[in-house]
Structure 1
Amino acid sequence: MGGIDVANGVVGAVIGMLFAVLFQQPLQDAWFRLRRRSASALRSLGRREESGPAWRTFSLGPLHTSALIVEGDGETPIPPEKVFVHVLDDEVRLPTDMEPWREEIALESEQLRAEGRTPLWNGPRYAVESFDISRSALDETPEVHLRLRPTDYYTFLAAQQLDRRLPDGTTPRSRYLDPEQPLTAPAFLQCSFAVNIAVVTADDMLVVSRRSERVRMAPGVWNSSVNEGLSRHIDSSGRSAPDLHAVCRRGMREELALEPHEYTLELLAFVLDVDKRHWSGHYFARLKELRSTDLQARMSRGVADRWEHQTIDYVPFRPSAVVKYLLRDDRVHRWAPLAPALFHLALVRAYSRTSVERVEAQAVRRL
């Protein structure tokens, strides 16, 4: 009997091991799914029907911005030949009760000049009359129609005072803007269109700039690699409309001393800062041969617009490294509104939306 008992014991042990190998993990997985669904069902009992705006500005955990991605997802670039820029003849005019604000700025500039300091240069600019999207009939490629009007820098500065009281007690923001219609605004409140470029070196380092304390708008904040506004004087030859890719090439040359043959350039999205009404074309540039050390050496030999940047950081262009950098304690509340969305879209272009969003979710959970 002893031998039979031993044999039965061995057989039982073997069967137990087989059972554990074959069924233990599936049973554990089934139990985990049951618990998760039960917990979800219990939570849903206390929920009510909800609704929210279809248009939401870019955010990432504790990082909240006023950047609204209007067109583009980062995965598929927008072809340059599908962007149509139209310039209208009539110049933008401020409402009568805002004209004195512009006069104040002109007087301030004259006072600076009289004191021997740098005056405010009233450069010719463009205001955004409208931005429209359509789709091509065959492959549904986006077609962008951007309508611009002439304006100037003094008008832009006056219109940036969105929360200043008017004589009747209202503000430009409360009188002219509807938060439920973020894409609708009068042209005189949209006197800014710029290109923002995420630049990645040949050794996969993302260039991040900090704006100089000398600039009038948003001094000292961390920003895109290159930021360049449209200029009527520089970017339009004769009566022709500006070419956004050409504006990018000018910005790359003036801010980083880079020439067109040294990089590739893709348009990823059009983005609107709904707080300040700044429009932007978001671009992604990869340097073909220049590494981060090469770029630093190049810039040490002279840059046309050196004064616009106070500091330049070089961040490893990997999702985990860039997301961690975006959420750093000393960065998270010091970003220019349009920059985080730009870097997210550049990561999506390089690594795919699924990969980037997985890393972003993991980074937020760890906070």
Structure 2
Amino acid sequence: MTLKGALTWISTGGGGLLIGAALGLLMTVAFEDPLKKLLQGVRRRSRVLRSRRRTPNASGFEFGGATSPFMIVAGDGTEAIKEELVHLVVSDEPIELPAELAAWRSEIAAEEQARKTSGSPHHWNGDCFAVEKLVEERTARDEEVEIFLHLRRTDYYSFLASQHLDRRFRDGTTPRSRYIDPVGHRRAPVFMSLSLGTSVLVITTDNHVLICQRGPDVGSRPLHWGVSADEGLSARLDSPSGLPPRIHAAARRGLCEELSLEDHEYRLALLGFTIDTERHQWDSVFVAYAHDLSSEQLDRRLQRSGKDRGLEIESWEFAPFTVRSVLQRLHGGWPTRAWTPVAPVALYLALVHEYGRWRVERLARNHSKRLRR
């Protein structure tokens, strides 16, 4: 066969098919692994992007379909954190605000003074505490949770200035984009972490939980519905002698001032520490089990008012403290109500403490499925 005839046979006859198959096999062998790796990488990237679209706030909290801009830093509700294993360590090193935040603080001070002079509702500049860091350890003997909370002294007007997380600086950045987003909420600088509060849910003897609406003039989220009582840690009230404050004592003070509950009337359990990621506020979550008070009896006491009840609480209601009841009220029973971000988190931790994580999360998943249908 001539060279020309051979080429014709290869290009048009069965030889072409055989050579094409052979070349295809060689190409498959040569490129199979790289192609597989490329496709696997594309699939992984696609899953990551879909996950990010589903959870735009990586530090958000979800419970039975309710979402909240909150993260749990320590504690999971299953076991209470013992009072003697919570240590608040206070440094006297002063906190210096960056120049632009300091200017915002001066604006706030002038505005509050003008309100005071005119006789309008205003906020006074009390001393409070900033959170420098939280260290979680385990005791050597029983491996129980032990918390070391490192604090610095600050004031309320500095706290209010740090709350403008999305106000723009001159260069177009914001406190959130400049100081929080690059490092995350756990590692944000201390001058952005100028608050530490307590949030308490009260459970009565007939197994009802007290839900309260915040007053119209409170400094944070007025008229929102949330826990039974919340209180900020105060240097003047919780550390009058200069000694480190105690977080349980601050929670008890809040229960006394807002609900007129005395220490001997309930059992207090600390369930966790949290951060409100929308406003970058540190908080602690408690549940208080009444020894003798029913919901009816506590309701009558609240009607007689307490020291701060008229200022802190606008209204209140009692709900059965069961998983199904709480989920129904969070999603359907009170549809027009604005909730504080801590409310779903506190209710979840308290329910886990009472009924166990497996049962609470199983019922929450089922509730979420029903909502999607």
Q: Return the TM-score normalized by structure 2.
A: 0.82
Conserved? CA contact 2:130–2:154, under 8 Å:
yes
Question: CA 1:193–1:263 in structure 2 vs 1: closer, same or farther (change >3 Å)?
Answer: same
Query: Per-residue displacement from partner, 1:282-333 (whole Å, max 9, x unpaired)?
Result: 1111101100111111122231112211111100011110111111274487
Counterpart in the other structure of 2:108:
105
**Alignment of 1:181 onto 2:184:** yes
CA drift of 1:134 comes to: 1.6
The CA deviation at 1:55 is: 6.8
Which residue identity lines up with residue 322 of structure 1 in the other structure? V
**Which residue matches 2:148?**
145
Deviation, structure 1 residue 131: 1.1
CA distance in 1, matches of 2:188, 2:335: 31
Stretch deviating more after TM superposition (110-119 or 169-178): 110-119
When the two structures are superposed, what TM-score results if normalisation uses the length of structure 1? Answer: 0.83
Paired residues for 1:222-241 under 5 Å: 222-241=225-244
The partner residue of 1:208 within 205, 208, 211 is 211
For residue 358 of structure 2, the aligned residue among 336, 345, 354 is: 354
Q: Percent identity?
A: 39
Q: Distance in 2 between matches of 1:354 and 1:210?
A: 30
Q: 1 CA distance for matches of 2:245 and 2:198?
A: 12
For residues 253 and 79 of structure 1, the distance between their equivalents in structure 2, rounded to whole angstroms, comes to: 21
Alignment of 1:149-298 (within 5 A): 149-178=152-181, 181-298=184-301
Seen in structure 2, the aligned counterparts of structure 1 residues 140 and 55 have a Cα distance that, compared at 3 Å, is farther
Give every structure 1 segment of 4 or more consecutive aligned residues whose post-TM-superposition deviation is greater than 6 Å. 52-55
Q: Which amino acid aligns with 2:328?
A: K
* SS of residue matched to 2:230: strand
Please tell me whether the aligned partners of residues 200 and 207 of structure 1 are also in contact (alpha carbons under 8 angstroms).
yes
Residues 224, 337 of structure 2: 8 Å contact kept:
no
CA distance in 2, matches of 1:214, 1:262: 29
In structure 2, what is the Cα distance between the partners aligned to 1:331 and 1:263? 31
Matched, 1:134 2:137: yes
Q: Distance in 1 between matches of 2:247 and 2:329?
A: 29
1:131-189 Cα shifts (integer Å, max 9, x gaps): 11122233321221101111111101111001111122211111111366331111111
Question: Which of 310, 314, 328 lines up with 2:314 in the alignment?
Answer: 310
Secondary structure at 1:327 match in 2: helix
Any stretches of 5+ residues in structure 1 without a counterpart? 1-45
- Structure having the higher helix fraction is 2
* Distance of 1:177 and 1:97 partners within structure 2: 16
- Do 1:78 and 1:269's aligned partners in 2 also have CA atoms closer than 8 Å? yes
Q: Is the 8 A contact 1:323 1:360 kept in 2?
A: yes
Q: Is the 8 A contact 1:68 1:273 kept in 2?
A: yes
Residue among 318, 325, 328 paired with 2:329: 325
Worse-superposed segment, 355-364 or 175-184: 175-184
Offset, 1:275: 2.0
Cα RMSD between the aligned structures?
2.1
Unaligned ranges ≥5, structure 2: 1-41
Partner of 1:125: 128
Distance 1:286 1:171, change over 3 A: same
Q: 296-305 or 339-348: which moved more?
A: 296-305
Output one character per residue of 1:6-38: Cα deviation in whole Å (capped at 9) or x when no partner.
xxxxxxxxxxxxxxxxxxxxxxxxxxxxxxxxx
* In structure 1, C-alpha distance between the alignment counterparts of 2:142 and 2:128, rounded to whole Å: 35
Match of 2:61 among 58, 66, 70: 58
On the 8 A contact 2:199/2:285 being kept in 1, the answer is yes
* Counterpart Cα distance in 2 of 1:170 and 1:231: 31
Code of the aligned partner of 1:210: Q
Q: Residue 252 of structure 1: CA displacement? A: 0.7
Across the two proteins, how many residue pairs are aligned to each other? 323
Task: In structure 2, give the amino acid aligned to 1:246.
Answer: A
Distance, in Å, in 1 between the alignment partners of 2:156 and 2:324 is 39
Q: For the residues of structure 1 that align with 2:194 and 2:345, how far apart are their CA atoms? A: 21
SS in 2 for 1:216: coil
